Amino acid sequence: MAQNKVITLDKIKIACQNCGLSNICLPLGLDSDDVERLDSIVQRNRPLRRGNYLFQTGDTFKSVYVVKTGTVKTYTQCPDGSEQVIGFHLPGEVIGLDGIELRKYICSAKALETSAICEIPFGQLEELTATIPNLQHQMFRLLSREISNDTSLMTLLGKSTAEERLAAFLLSLSIRLHSRGFSATEFNLSMSRQEIGSYLGLALETVSRLFTHFQEEKILKVNRKYVEILDLEKLYNLLSQQTVCLEKLRAP
Amino acid sequence: MAQNKVITLDKIKIACQNCGLSNICLPLGLDSDDVERLDSIVQRNRPLRRGNYLFQTGDTFKSVYVVKTGTVKTYTQCPDGSEQVIGFHLPGEVIGLDGIELRKYICSAKALETSAICEIPFGQLEELTATIPNLQHQMFRLLSREISNDTSLMTLLGKSTAEERLAAFLLSLSIRLHSRGFSATEFNLSMSRQEIGSYLGLALETVSRLFTHFQEEKILKVNRKYVEILDLEKLYNLLSQQTVCLEKLRAP
DNA sequence: GAAGATCGTTGATCAAAATCAGAAATGAGG
DNA sequence: CCTCATTTCTGATTTTGATCAACGATCTTC
């Protein structure tokens, strides 16, 4: 009896209708009826453990995925075994959109920590989208956001110094974590120096040295994965000459 | 009388139904009825001259644009006046998709040579898309292609040498031109060394030296804007260790 | 066709970050 | 608790490509 009640509460809790992410996720702008229809096609499988794959390069495209909790990295792999990190994905961010065109994923996606994921079969999503104009609009917005985020990153990789890149990365994380209800100035990195370096086009040693340097400048307090931003303004100023407008650093 | 006839022929010629690009552009996969509906919302303004803007950063997002002939570059601008080139857009490629989310363009778009452009008001396109499932699907594919192209470019900018970058750029151009009916091995660059450099994250001097170097290696024959690829295989081999799969270099 | 502007090439030098190497810290597993 | 593996940090050296500088070629405009 008691157990029955608990299960019921759980069921309520994990629906889109009750998800804290609904203001940044797909349901944004939908009325409650439509959220319910969307919710009915969402699959919630068991959480991924650190190191588990969501999908791998070349897998047949079937679904898009939304991070519910945790962090997921996407990356491509070189013949020589080294990898290029494409993105780090926080709760509310959609993964797998790159697979729509060729019907297979061009990235691999791997959990950096225990992560809960919502799976949305794309065929069903497309059917639903065709009947809910607001959902179609939201899908276009999501895809467009992905494109403009990539534009920002390309600008960063195209012309910035190592210092500017790491500053931009930290600020982007700060902003995104903050808009998800976490602290903007204190967080644990779920990725390694190596992975940060790959994402930013830098060697892991350079990333490590920059953390030390930022610490000497009293901009950060760093202890391995733990980062505290002591001086947000200085961090912003490092980017002042940059095109990258901060609102676009994978916000919200 | 005679003039009247000419105008009529012209009118027939510039409709989507008769456009040679319909196999890579938005109408792909639509039946002729739907192509006609799409065509009815397409605006064809006078061609842009070299240097004319299609839109500028911050302009209110109103339409997406398809290059019909010519080349258009998109770029962002820094406070210091320097620019970061984001892309070079050939016939059949869609521009402005980055503006959907925030309702304003985050890039500027400028013609590199005389270019004919089809303008598609996005509001009308969305309405149409809601009633033509195939068009919705094609829009998703287009947006997804944009994302995967960006992924390829980020990989290129993240970990490749100058040589690999220029090789990838030339091969991408070659493939795209070829799939549009032009020669894969002989073409005129419509962009300057400076613009190529900005796009690839290199100094213009580096680009110039690489052209010379490729010429010494008998890979290219270069005369300012004119490029002839003498040894496609060597060019491919320069990328062999690369993640970037060539099919994804902004193909088709 | 001269003057000026822009663009491309080439050389010399410099600097930022990669690479190489090794030590220290942390974590996992027995 | 000890061992082994991984991650991080730091130092020394090298390399790639940026920067600075000058010149030749091409195009434009009057």
The residue count for chain B: 252
Q: Does any CB of chain A come closer than 8 Å to the CB of residue B97? A: yes
Q: A191-203: per-residue pLDDT in tens?
A: 999 999 999 999 9
Domain boundary pick from B75, B99, B131: B131
The yes-or-no verdict on residue A252 having pLDDT over 70 is no
Q: A168-199: per-residue pLDDT in tens?
A: 999 999 999 999 999 999 999 999 999 999 99
Structural domain includes residue B137: no
- At residue A4, the pLDDT reads 52
> A199 and B158: CB-CB below 8 Å?
yes
- At residue B2, the pLDDT reads 47
Structural domain includes residue B143: no
CA of A50 to C1' of C28 (A): 14
Structural domain includes residue B225: yes
* Number of domains chain B is built from: 2
Structural domain includes residue A114: yes
Structural domain includes residue A145: no
Tell me what the mean pLDDT of segment A70-92 comes to.
Answer: 90
Q: Which of A1-15, A133-147, B131-145 has the lowest mean pLDDT?
A: A1-15
> A100 and B76: CB-CB below 8 Å?
no
With a CB cutoff of 8 Å and minimum separation 6, the contacts of B77 are A243, B57, B83, B84, B108
- At residue A240, the pLDDT reads 64
Statement to judge: residues B114 and B11 lie in one domain: yes
- At residue A247, the pLDDT reads 47
- What does strand C contact on the protein, if contact means CB under 7 A? A 161-163, 197, 201-203, 205-206, 224; B 192-194, 204-205, 207-209, 211-212, 222, 224-225
- At residue A8, the pLDDT reads 53
Q: Does any CB of chain B come closer than 8 Å to the CB of residue A69? A: no
> B154 and A150: CB-CB below 8 Å?
yes
- At residue A222, the pLDDT reads 93
The yes-or-no verdict on residue A244 having pLDDT over 70 is no
The yes-or-no verdict on residue A142 having pLDDT over 80 is yes
Provide the CATH number for the domain around residue B69.
2.60.120.10
With a CB cutoff of 8 Å and minimum separation 6, the contacts of A190 are A70, A71, A88, A112, A113, A225
Query: Hey, how many other C-beta atoms are within 10 angstroms of the C-beta on B61?
Result: 19
Statement to judge: residues A50 and A105 lie in one domain: yes
Q: Does any CB of chain A come closer than 8 Å to the CB of residue B103? A: no
Q: Does any CB of chain A come closer than 8 Å to the CB of residue B139? A: yes
Q: Does any CB of chain B come closer than 8 Å to the CB of residue A34? A: no
Average pLDDT over chain A, rounded to whole?
A: 89
- Sort A208 into a burial class: Cβ within 10 Å, 0-12 / 13-18 / 19+: middle
The yes-or-no verdict on residue A51 having pLDDT over 70 is yes
> A159 and B84: CB-CB below 8 Å?
yes
> A241 and B79: CB-CB below 8 Å?
yes
Q: How far is A165 from chain B (nearest CA, A)?
A: 11
Statement to judge: residues A116 and A14 lie in one domain: yes
Tell me the residue range of the domain where B158 lies. Answer: 151-248
Tell me what the mean pLDDT of segment A25-54 comes to.
Answer: 93
The yes-or-no verdict on residue A1 having pLDDT over 80 is no
CA of B223 to C1' of D26 (A): 12
Statement to judge: residues B104 and B216 lie in one domain: no
- At residue B19, the pLDDT reads 87
Residue A246 — very low, low, confident or very high, per pLDDT cuts 50/70/90? very low
Statement to judge: residues B99 and B180 lie in one domain: no
- Give contacts of A159 with chain B, Cβ < 8 Å: 78, 82, 84, 198, 201
Which of B24, B128, B148, B249 to mutate to probe the A interface, most A CBs <10 Å? B148
- Give contacts of B100 with chain A, Cβ < 8 Å: 140-141, 143-144
Q: How far is B159 from chain A (nearest CA, A)?
A: 6
- At residue A20, the pLDDT reads 85
- At residue B37, the pLDDT reads 94
Domain boundary pick from A131, A161, A176: A131
Tell me what the mean pLDDT of segment A232-240 comes to.
Answer: 87
The yes-or-no verdict on residue A161 having pLDDT over 90 is yes
pTM of the model: 0.91
Whole-number Cα distances in Å, B82 to A128, A149, A212, B79: 44, 20, 31, 8
Q: Does any CB of chain B come closer than 8 Å to the CB of residue A3? A: no
- Give contacts of A139 with chain B, Cβ < 8 Å: 140
Residue of B nearest to A77 (CA): B243
Statement to judge: residues B87 and B55 lie in one domain: yes
Rg (CA), chain B: 19
- At residue A13, the pLDDT reads 61
Statement to judge: residues B120 and B236 lie in one domain: no
- Give contacts of B126 with chain A, Cβ < 8 Å: 133, 136-137, 140
User: B203: which nucleotide lies closest, measuring CA to C1'?
Assistant: D18
With pLDDT > 70 as the criterion, what percentage of chain A qualifies? 89
Task: Show the tokens assigned to A12.
Answer: 């309520």
Domain boundary pick from A96, A131, A166: A131
Statement to judge: residues B19 and B95 lie in one domain: yes
Torsion sign (Cα): B175, B197, B153, B61: negative
Structural domain includes residue A159: yes
Structural domain includes residue A72: yes
Tell me what the mean pLDDT of segment A74-79 comes to.
Answer: 85
> B143 and A100: CB-CB below 8 Å?
yes
Q: How far is B100 from chain A (nearest CA, A)?
A: 6
Closest CA to B65 of B35, B45, B36, B84: B45
Structural domain includes residue A227: yes
Provide the CATH number for the domain around residue A212.
1.10.10.10
What span, in angstroms and rounded, lies between the C-alpha atoms of B162 and B63? 36
Contact status, residue B235 vs residue B229, Cβ threshold 8 Å: yes
Statement to judge: residues B105 and B207 lie in one domain: no
Statement to judge: residues A176 and A232 lie in one domain: yes
Residues of chain B with pLDDT under 50: 1-3, 243, 245-248, 251-252
- At residue B18, the pLDDT reads 87
- At residue A2, the pLDDT reads 47
Q: Does any CB of chain A come closer than 8 Å to the CB of residue B242? A: yes
Residue of B nearest to A155 (CA): B84
Statement to judge: residues A173 and A55 lie in one domain: no
> B157 and A158: CB-CB below 8 Å?
yes
Statement to judge: residues A127 and A6 lie in one domain: yes
